[in-house]
């Protein structure tokens, strides 16, 4: 399966080089288990120890240059056309192969805007420049950001079908945890229950295990991106969980919200119910508007303005991000116009990108209401990949 | 334990800044589960999503600046003195905190020579420069290579005691696999046996699971850095395995060699026995010479010259590397003077560094003879951390 995706992605890259008017794209890595260029997984294959170059040209010709002891690891995959091994220095083979097509530009993996297009370290950039010095090629280097964003963002049918399975497995675990949650259980116990299911089924966690899953019960919790504590579920708590798995190399990222009924309640109190519905409706409003050609920041506006117009504080993060092999994937995102997001809020949404939609709000005295759904952008709109949570789930106290 | 090491390492870093005449050291990361600066694990802590800065000054003052949702993840560790959170941009806090000490130089994590000192991506380098533009600080940036190499290389007593445990657990698995190896078993079966022990005991693998362990049986195998195949163990084969685990955050890396007796044999044939002894003796010669102040390339010379003087081909890799949190760790290594190793062969060996010693040779018609031992450099010499393999292990055919 991995092999099929590598093949699809290298072919897609050749088309993208033509679309984006890039002659040659170089992915240049070393000791990739330490400094791991995320593009290696998508167009390269296994990790390397010594300097390794993946060269893709817009005419369809492509080449791997690797340490001689590691060349076979790539050659056996059969994705590229040409393979060269070296013993003492990659320099000569690298310069020769880059010069071969006399490219007017060479894209390399650096980017201020996109982490996923920024796998080239500064030291490797300096080494590359020292190799190219005097060849004229050192003046042709440009960012591969646009190629990488499109390549990661525009999912193939193989990728989408894996991602649907990944989400289905995630929702199955959410169903199981709904049975497990009860007053007296701690955030850590709930997180461990989820992790045991993940291990049992041989999945990976989509992000760091110290806050995947993130479990929050009740008011005054830390909020997003922190780990579960020994705080216990109580009657009258809003509970929310942020969780995703890695399955067949692809991530999921879903959030769900529950309310724990108090002795005298058969439904959630009005502010809790309303807090849930506002989030649910904000997601629907965004999904109705999301389609190719819109900007991510316009989508963030829809949810942020709706939530604040009702008197809630704005959520302290972006509305949503792309998902793929990385849980935060692709170039553009459904982000506000904040400096830390670089140009990502302004990029146009494209067909076959997968986004999360994950607004949040605080219901004072009860906890956090937050949902996170995943959608795929279609030709004229978008479709939910996760069955959206339509009703607040109630836990009997 | 992790917490204690973080604390020790930040304290050690302050001393190193004084020793290396660096005023301020900045580790600057974002989305560190994707582009993971390896220094984060040693002086930072958990992964971050948003831009995060770890600033250590030679006067002992130090600061973390993180996205407000993630600040608590670092604050709760209590390693640093000052903590600042931001919502929309790190720029102002970062510039202000870097300027505070009016440093004459600011070390950042880029290096042509050392992968472990090269965790800053080129895009992050450009962002940092854009933030610093016009402050004068942009001209003070220097490589943190020397600090990082010393900090990773010079192990604390806590680190050394963990590494001894890690090696002991590894050798225990080697003992078990010695009982398991038999004619008819494939390289993949042997690798899976080892992996089952690793999983059973909750260890990690020290490098990519597709070639950890690497198992080679008989003549004409691929050699180092490729994965096990369905080739079966036969009588008259030399077998060698390269394997390491991660335990309490630290790696091991050990190789062992076996010979499978033929029907009429009660010992290995002379060329096999000799091939083993040459490797064993080469390791001893290096261990006798290894001490603070020598250059790694001099150590490589000793083994390489000894092996080639006896008519064997030279091994197509370095003699040994440092080990630590990463399996290929530290700055300098026991490397030949090849361009791909940069300045690493020339750096002086220091006390409390941990090195592998791993020469290899081919015994024609039988397979590969290779051992890999780990040693720690002491005040006047070195000590084996792994009980060295003194005799060729014989498998009954």
Q: What pLDDT, in 10s, does the model give residues B7-33?
A: 999 999 999 999 999 999 999 999 999
Structure confidence at residue A82 (pLDDT): 98
Nearest to A72 among B37, B226, B340 (CB): B226
Mutate to test the interface with A, among B27, B31, B115, B123 (most CBs of A within 10 A): B123
For B154-395, CATH number out of 3.40.50.1370, 3.90.230.10, 3.30.1490.20, 3.20.20.70 equals 3.90.230.10
Nearest to B208 among A33, A224, A225 (CB): A33
Share of chain B above pLDDT 90, in %: 91
More confident residue, B340 or B360: B360
- Average pLDDT over every residue of A232-256: 97
Nearest Cα to Cα of residue B392 among B276, B283, B282, B281: B276
What is the CA B307 to chain-centroid distance, rounded? 25
Mutate to test the interface with B, among A72, A89, A122, A133 (most CBs of B within 10 A): A122
Smallest CA–CA separation between A231 and chain B, in Å?
Answer: 16
Instruction: Please list the residue range(s) of chain B that carry CATH number 3.40.350.10.
Output: 2-152
Smallest CA–CA separation between B158 and chain A, in Å?
Answer: 23
Nearest Cα to Cα of residue B244 among B341, B356, B366: B356
> CB-based contact (8 Å) between B226 and chain A?
yes
What is the Cα–Cα distance from A386 to A164, expressed in whole angstroms? Answer: 8
- Whether A238 and A366 have beta carbons less than 8 Å apart is answered as yes
What is the Cα–Cα distance from A66 to A363, expressed in whole angstroms? Answer: 56
- Average pLDDT over every residue of B272-293: 98
Task: Specify the long-range contacts of residues A316-319, CB closer than 8 Å, at least 24 apart.
Answer: A316/A223, A316/A224, A316/B68, A316/B69, A316/B87, A317/A224, A317/A360, A317/B69, A318/A345, A319/A286, A319/A357, A319/A358, A319/A359
Q: Could you tell me the pLDDT band of residue A210, with boundaries at 50, 70 and 90?
A: confident
- Average pLDDT over every residue of B279-295: 98
Instruction: Please list the residue range(s) of chain B that carry CATH number 3.90.230.10.
Output: 154-395
Structure confidence at residue A220 (pLDDT): 80
3-state secondary structure of B263: coil
- Whether B209 and B235 have beta carbons less than 8 Å apart is answered as no
Q: Could you tell me the pLDDT band of residue A359, with boundaries at 50, 70 and 90?
A: very high
Q: What pLDDT, in 10s, does the model give residues A137-181?
A: 999 999 999 999 999 999 999 999 999 999 999 999 999 999 999
Smallest CA–CA separation between A111 and chain B, in Å?
Answer: 5
Binding-face residues of A in 258-317 toward B, CB within 8 A: 316-317
Structure confidence at residue B224 (pLDDT): 60
> CB-based contact (8 Å) between A209 and chain B?
no
Check residue B314 and report its DSSP letter: P
Task: Specify the long-range contacts of residues A276-279, CB closer than 8 Å, at least 24 apart.
Answer: A276/A369, A276/A392, A278/A306, A278/A307, A278/A310, A278/A312, A278/A361, A278/A369, A279/A307, A279/A359, A279/A360, A279/A361, A279/A369, A279/A370, A279/A371
Structure confidence at residue B289 (pLDDT): 98
Q: Chain A partners of B222 at a C-beta cutoff of 8 Å?
A: 72
Mutate to test the interface with B, among A120, A227, A340, A360 (most CBs of B within 10 A): A340
- Whether A162 and A249 have beta carbons less than 8 Å apart is answered as yes
What is the CA A335 to chain-centroid distance, rounded? 14
What is the Cα–Cα distance from B30 to B47, expressed in whole angstroms? Answer: 8
Nearest to B115 among A31, A116, A226 (CB): A31
Is B121's CB within 8 Å of A123's CB?
A: no
For B2-152, CATH number out of 3.40.350.10, 3.40.190.10, 2.30.30.90, 3.30.70.3340 equals 3.40.350.10
Mean pLDDT of chain B: 95
What is the Cα–Cα distance from B298 to B349, expressed in whole angstroms? Answer: 11
Closest residue on chain B to A32 (Cα): B115
List, in sequence order, the alpha helices (H) in chain A.
Answer: 2-19, 40-43, 71-75, 91-99, 122-132, 145-153, 157-180, 187-200, 270-289, 296-309
Structure confidence at residue A208 (pLDDT): 86
Is A117's CB within 8 Å of B123's CB?
A: yes
Structure confidence at residue B208 (pLDDT): 86
Structure confidence at residue B225 (pLDDT): 64
Share of chain A above pLDDT 90, in %: 91
What CA dihedral angle connects B360, B361, B367 and B373, to 10 degrees?
-20
Smallest CA–CA separation between A120 and chain B, in Å?
Answer: 6
Taking 80 as the threshold, does the pLDDT of residue B277 lie above it? yes
Q: Chain A partners of B227 at a C-beta cutoff of 8 Å?
A: 73
Q: Could you tell me the pLDDT band of residue A291, with boundaries at 50, 70 and 90?
A: very high
Is A118's CB within 8 Å of B117's CB?
A: no
> CB-based contact (8 Å) between B129 and chain A?
no
Check residue A173 and report its DSSP letter: H
Q: Chain B partners of A339 at a C-beta cutoff of 8 Å?
A: 88-89, 91
> CB-based contact (8 Å) between A229 and chain B?
no
Smallest CA–CA separation between B143 and chain A, in Å?
Answer: 9
Q: Could you tell me the pLDDT band of residue A272, with boundaries at 50, 70 and 90?
A: very high
Check residue B27 and report its DSSP letter: E
Q: What pLDDT, in 10s, does the model give residues B221-258?
A: 766 667 899 999 999 999 999 999 999 999 999 999 99
Nearest to A110 among B37, B90, B122 (CB): B122
Bond into A39 cis (ω within 30): no
- Average pLDDT over every residue of B91-107: 97
Q: Chain B partners of A49 at a C-beta cutoff of 8 Å?
A: 225, 328
Nearest to A34 among B110, B116, B127 (CB): B116
Mean pLDDT of chain A: 95
Structure confidence at residue B227 (pLDDT): 84
Closest residue on chain B to A338 (Cα): B88
Nearest to A36 among B36, B90, B118 (CB): B36
């Amino acid at each position: 399966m991995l092999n099929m995706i590598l093949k699809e992605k290298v072919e897609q890259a050749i088309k993208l080089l033509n679309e984006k008017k890039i002659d040659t794209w170089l992915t240049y890595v070393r000791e990739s288990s330490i400094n791991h260029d995320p593009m290696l997984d998508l167009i390269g294959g296994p990790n390397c120890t010594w300097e390794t170059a993946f060269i893709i040209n817009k005419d369809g010709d492509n080449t791997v240059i690797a340490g001689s002891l590691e060349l076979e690891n790539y050659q056996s995959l059969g994705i590229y056309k040409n393979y060269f091994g070296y013993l003492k220095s990659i320099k000569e083979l690298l310069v020769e192969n880059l010069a071969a097509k006399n490219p007017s530009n060479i894209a390399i993996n650096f980017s201020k805007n996109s982490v996923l297009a920024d796998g080239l370290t500064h030291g490797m950039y300096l080494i590359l420049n020292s190799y190219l010095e005097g060849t004229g090629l050192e003046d042709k280097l440009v960012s591969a950001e646009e190629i990488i964003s499109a390549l990661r963002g525009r999912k193939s049918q193989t990728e989408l079908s894996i991602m649907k399975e990944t989400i289905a497995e995630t929702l199955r675990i959410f169903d199981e945890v709904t049975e497990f949650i009860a007053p007296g259980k701690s955030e850590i116990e709930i997180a461990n229950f989820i992790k045991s299911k993940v291990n049992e089924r041989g999945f990976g966690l989509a992000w760091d295990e110290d806050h995947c899953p993130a479990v929050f019960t009740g008011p005054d919790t830390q909020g997003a991106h922190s780990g579960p504590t020994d705080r216990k579920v109580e009657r009258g708590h809003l509970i929310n969980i942020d969780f995703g798995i890695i399955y067949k190399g692809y991530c999921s990222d879903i959030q769900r919200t529950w309310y724990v009924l108090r002795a005298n309640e058969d439904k959630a109190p009005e502010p809790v119910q309303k807090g849930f519905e506002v989030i649910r409706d904000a997601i629907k409003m965004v999904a109705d508007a999301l389609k190719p050609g819109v900007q991510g920041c316009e989508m963030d506006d829809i949810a942020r303005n709706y939530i604040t117009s009702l008197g809630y504080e704005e959520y302290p993060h972006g509305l949503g991000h792309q998902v793929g092999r990385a849980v935060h994937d692709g170039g553009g995102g459904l982000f506000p116009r904040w400096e830390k997001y670089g140009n990502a809020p302004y990029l146009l949404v494209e067909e076959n990108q997968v986004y999360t939609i994950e607004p949040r709000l605080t219901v004072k005295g009860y906890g956090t209401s937050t949902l996170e759904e995943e959608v795929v952008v279609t030709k004229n709109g978008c479709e939910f990949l996760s069955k959206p949570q339509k009703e607040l789930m109630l836990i009997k106290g």
